[in-house]
Amino acid sequence: GKRRVVHKMDLFLLSFATTLTIIIYSLFKYFFAKPKEKMPLAPGTFGWPIIGETIQFLNSLYYGLVHEFVQERTKKYNSHVFRTSLLGQKVVIFSGPAANKFIFTQGNKLIIGWRPKSVQKLFPSTSFVPIEHDTKRAHNVISYFLNSQNVERLISTMDNMSHLHLKNHWKGKHEVIVYDLVKLFTFSLSIRAFMGIEESDKILNLYEKFKIFTQGLLAVDINLPGTTFYKAMKAGNELRKQMKVIIKQRKVELLENPNLSKVDVLTQMINEQDEDGKYMTEVEIEDKVFGFIIGSYDTTATTITLTMKYLQQMPEYFNEIIQEQNEISMQMMPREELCWNDIQKMRKTWSFVNEVLRNTPVVQGIFREAIEDFTYEDFYIPKGWKIYLSFGATQKNGEYFPNPTKFDPSRFEGNGQVPYTSVPFGGGHRMCPGKEFARILILVFLHRLLKNFRWEPKVPSEKILYPFFLLAIPTDGYPITLSAV
């Protein structure tokens, strides 16, 4: 009996000693580790297990108040970088011009775009093409598209299509829902510019499918009949079938006529070779054209809608802008169509649009993922962690924008803003490839609209929310009553 007690005692001492050794070793490792591991994590809390701070974050996202969520914590932790947990992921939230600059200029070696599973399934090629490579190719294609020879043709197309759209869908109507109509317009223009399709019945057919497709981008990826995601996958497959036919036709046309004007993006992409002389695969071409269309029509439509809403609420700026546009019209005579030079003169109008985007960011921020361990501002960010860059927290910060709640377009006049403080289109070499495309389109459309119409809101108290947590949208689509000028 005595031996058994001693044996138990030995086991206890042994396990105690082992535990103690492990504790001492861990403490030793913690305090005397290699400097890299000594780097602290960003301050913050992971909150509740799994849930983390997801509920507060999604709530603020929906109401367009992410900047408040971020500013509160920035103040609490006294840091422009802090950690939290969202949707079961460890996330580091960044804000401020330095963070914008870091993510847009240095980030691509350390971080990649993070896409929810649903997006990966709807865009198959993105899983094997890193997003950085995508952007580079996108830039090549778009910059060709906006070079000096092609830009005049593009402006002329945009001008004619704005004129036709307003004539067919606005003229003679007493009431319209702005967001719905403008979205149809920006979509038609994207299809024309990116795919070279002009027939309105074809465009409408594609538009209905695209609406269903985009609803699946942030839906839960459950592929069962009846679910949003199932419908999106189905619409995506139908769109791909149509795209394949269009790509085939275009390739045949190019073979028959190699000098075919490369005025649309699709033709450009079929011809585009990388450094090794390789052409893009069909899936890549489909995904990129889809990406361009989704990236361009929705955000541009939202920007035009918000600009119209703000213009109507701000008579003092409205009159200044009408004056600027009228002067441009006078100088154009007898020429009817807008050209590049006219667009460059719309300075007040563009400052106004920029202040709208500062005040109500179309997108409140972007998600990224760390592909290796790195340090930022003396904090250690482990590989695999997600990163959220908040635009609004910088755009609504009094340090960079004095009196941030005041609407004041003059902030963007003259030399404009400190670099990387207002980044509605990204920045550095991660600048949105479509920025210039969007700028021209918005200005052309506003010019034609202001020449022909004035409007009053039907629901003056209408809120701007972020359904699906993506883009700012007036809850009723901004219904207005129209009067002709």
The tokens describing 468, both together, are 């699906």
Sheet architecture: strand order including 365-370: 81-86, 89-94, 386-390, 365-370, 111-113
To which H or E segment does residue 367 belong? strand 365-370
- For residues 441 and 191, the answer to whether their CB atoms sit within 8 Å is no
The tokens describing 171, both together, are 């003229």
CB atoms within 10 A of CB 278: 9
Nearest residue to 56 (alpha-carbon basis) of 43, 47, 69, 46: 69
Distance from C-alpha of 308 to C-alpha of 224, rounded to nearest angstrom: 40
User: 361: left (phi > 0), else alpha (psi -120 to 50), else beta?
Assistant: beta
- 339 annotated as belonging to a binding site for a ligand: no
To which H or E segment does residue 390 belong? strand 386-390
Distance from C-alpha of 281 to C-alpha of 137, rounded to nearest angstrom: 13
Angle among Cα 395, 396, 400 to the nearest 5 degrees reads 65
Strands 379-381 and 81-86: unpaired
- For residues 389 and 368, the answer to whether their CB atoms sit within 8 Å is yes
- For residues 297 and 187, the answer to whether their CB atoms sit within 8 Å is yes
Nearest residue to 306 (alpha-carbon basis) of 457, 172, 436: 457
CA distances from 99 to 67, 105, 240, 377, 419 (A): 14, 10, 38, 10, 12
The tokens describing 257, both together, are 């006529």
Q: Which residues of 340-372 are buried (b: 16+ CB within 10 A; e: fewer)?
A: eebbeebebbbbbbbbbbbbbbbebbbbbbbee
Q: Between helices 228-256 and 200-215, what is the axis angle to 10°?
A: 140
The tokens describing 80, both together, are 């422009």
Positions at the binding site for heme: 432
